[in-house]
Amino acid sequence: MKRLLAIAWVFVFAIPFSAPAAETPKKGGGLIVCVGDEPPGLDPTASASAAIDRVVYSNLFEGLVKVDRNGRLVPGLALGWEISPDAKTYTFRLRQGVRFHNGEPFNAQVAKWNLERGAAPDTKNAHPEFFRQIEKIETPDDSTLRLTLKDVNALFLFQMAEGDAVLLPMKGYEDTAARPIGTGPFRFVEWRRGDSVVLERNPNYWNPTLPYLDRLTFRFIKDPSAQVAALKAGDVDVLGWILAPEIARGIARDNRFKILAGSSTSEVIMSTNNKAKPFDNKLVRQAMAHAIDRKTVNELVMLGYGTPIGSHWPPITPYYVDLTKKFPYDPKKAKELLAQAGYPNGFSARIQLPAIYPYAQKAGEVIADMLGRVGIKLKIEIVEWGFWLDRIFKQKDFELSMIGHAEAWDIGIYANPNYYFQYDSAEFRDAYQKALRATSEAEKAKWFARCQEIVAEDAVNGFLFVSPSLSAMKAEVMNWWKDYPTIALDATEVWWNK
């Protein structure tokens, strides 16, 4: 039965998803995508920088599995996989006939070498634990890869779909940071430092219909207003990632352009120090949860582009449970809870907001106003990023703060009592372990849901909204990813309708 379930799961997740397109895609043309940060190198297996993945993930490099535009797992260099009943052994069937951009063939040996490289003691990989959990790698033939894990890990496949786990060629890998060689739909042409990275169509891509574009360029423009100016002047075709919603609104007025407003995996939370008085009192935290009108927060901070949340889980990630109704906006109830907690007249506290993130400052001002209405007087302090990292994140010396947690699948931070918000719950740790060790799909769904419920019930942090994924582009650019389920600006299926 379990095996059947496992196979069924593979089946569900392995159907290649293609976006509904009203017209058939046209081939040709070049696309210039504007991004804010220039990557420090182009090797995603040697750095944690998100700027690298935005350029290369699924464009230039591929892993065994990929995350698609809807946050689901789809086959990458593995055609499919089978999971043993004890959920410890994964057997991947690999694509045959795939070649790297330099002509080297891809096979099970190459995959094995990559996984061993990630686990090596001197690895530069940002997540060596992804690979060190593998106990045994077997390659019965060129197109079969069998991995046995030390322990069950429900997130293993998602980890294999991260940028850290893309596969490099065995011979041409040394210069990856400067001249990357992968298997993806686009191959590297040149990197003009300080300006752009240019990729071109890989004519030998394993999917002969993809990509549609001939050329894909990433241009680096830091300043948001300069980005908008570049788009309006026609210097770039797409703004891949807009931080300020009001900028999106300004562009939307011009009918030469369109805005895609999707969802990301960045949960914006009012971080609450669960060890600091009076926030160590669950009633106080629940009172604050009742005092926050999430819909209005989203309206005021994100102009309505974000998605309200009730727990630490993005709606576009599998196993999501909607808990936004758990603590509905109810200032009266909030005051009652405060009175129960021994603060009938409220109290004063300090909220420190990181200066580099405008959304955090805006959300802080709005929250201060809302909490003020139930008697919690917040003193706002804007702090530098270095101060935030040191004092709040490292030394845990704070009461309240505001920050977006960008990584997908990051609810595990609540299992660590030493994490900066210092939430210590044996019940949560137990539920999280059970989720990670779940061997069936139903078990995973059950325990990941339980994890979400526990942190919501304990009102660990103020759960506000997930940041929108806002992109702007010329009206003729088709099929760009609307959501941002993983760190990627995948242009494989993008085409020009002109």
Partner 1 sequence: MRRFFGNKNFTVGFLLSAAVVLAAALSLLWTPYDPNRMSALERLEGPSLRHPLGTDQYGRDTLSRILAGAVNSILVGLVTVAIGLVLGVALGLLAAYGGRAADEAIMRLADLLFGFPAVLTAILITSILGPSMVNAMLAIGIFYIPVFARLTRAVARVVWEKEFIAAARASGIGELAIVRRHVLPNILSPLLIQGTIQFAVAILAEAGLSYLGLGTQPPHASWGRMLNEAQTFLDTSPWMAIFPGLAIAWAVLGFNLMGDGLRDVLDPKMARLR
Ordered DSSP codes for 252-287: HTSTTEEEEEEEEEEEEEE-B-TTSTTTTSHHHHHH
From the CB of 244, what's the least distance to partner 1, in Å? 5
Strand partners, 91: 82, 146
Q: Could you tell me if 384 and 430 are in contact, meaning their C-beta atoms sit under 8 angstroms apart?
A: no
Binding to partner 1 in span 321-380, by CB under 8 A: 355, 358, 361-362, 364-366, 368-369, 379-380
Of 71-79, 90-98, 249-257, 260-268, the window that binds partner 1 (rule: CB under 8 A) is 249-257
Pick between residue 56 and residue 402 the one whose CB is nearest to partner 1.
Answer: 402
**Terminal-to-terminal C-alpha distance of the chain:** 51
Binding to partner 1 in span 67-86, by CB under 8 A: none
From the CB of 308, what's the least distance to partner 1, in Å? 13
103: exposed, middle or buried (C-beta count within 10 Å: 0-12, 13-18, 19+)?
exposed
Q: Is 308 in the site for partner 1 (CB under 8 A)?
A: no
Of 59-67, 274-282, 294-302, 324-332, the window that binds partner 1 (rule: CB under 8 A) is 294-302
Q: Could you tell me if 471 and 69 are in contact, meaning their C-beta atoms sit under 8 angstroms apart?
A: no
Binding to partner 1 in span 201-240, by CB under 8 A: 224-225, 228
Among 142, 235, 280, 299, binds partner 1 (CB under 8 A): 299
Q: Is 300 in the site for partner 1 (CB under 8 A)?
A: yes
Q: Is 296 in the site for partner 1 (CB under 8 A)?
A: yes
Pick between residue 288 and residue 378 the one whose CB is nearest to partner 1.
Answer: 378
Pick between residue 98 and residue 367 the one whose CB is nearest to partner 1.
Answer: 367
From the CB of 20, what's the least distance to partner 1, in Å? 32
Q: Is 389 in the site for partner 1 (CB under 8 A)?
A: no
Place of tokens 């580099």: 356
From the CB of 327, what's the least distance to partner 1, in Å? 19
Among 19, 137, 244, 283, binds partner 1 (CB under 8 A): 244
Name the pairing type of β-strands 89-94 and 78-83: antiparallel
Name the pairing type of β-strands 257-270 and 400-401: unpaired
Burial string for 352-389 (b: 16+ CB within 10 Å, else e) reads bbbeebebbbbbbbbbbebbeebbbebeeeebeeeebe
From the CB of 253, what's the least distance to partner 1, in Å? 8
From the CB of 58, what's the least distance to partner 1, in Å? 31
Q: Could you tell me if 210 and 493 are in contact, meaning their C-beta atoms sit under 8 angstroms apart?
A: yes
Backbone φ/ψ region at 66: left (φ over 0), alpha (ψ -120 to 50), beta = beta
From the CB of 303, what's the least distance to partner 1, in Å? 8
From the CB of 474, what's the least distance to partner 1, in Å? 18
310: nearest Cα among 425, 457, 427: 457
Among 177, 221, 230, 247, binds partner 1 (CB under 8 A): 247
Cα→Cα distances 16→21, 76, 92, Å: 15, 10, 16
Say which residues have a Cβ less than 8 Å from residue 426's Cβ, sequence separation at least 6. Answer: none
Q: Binding pattern to partner 1, positions 263-292, x when CB under 8 A?
A: ------------------------------
Q: Is 413 in the site for partner 1 (CB under 8 A)?
A: no
Contact positions vs partner 1 (CB under 8 A):
224-225, 228, 244, 246-247, 249-250, 253, 296, 299-300, 355, 358, 361-362, 364-366, 368-369, 379-384
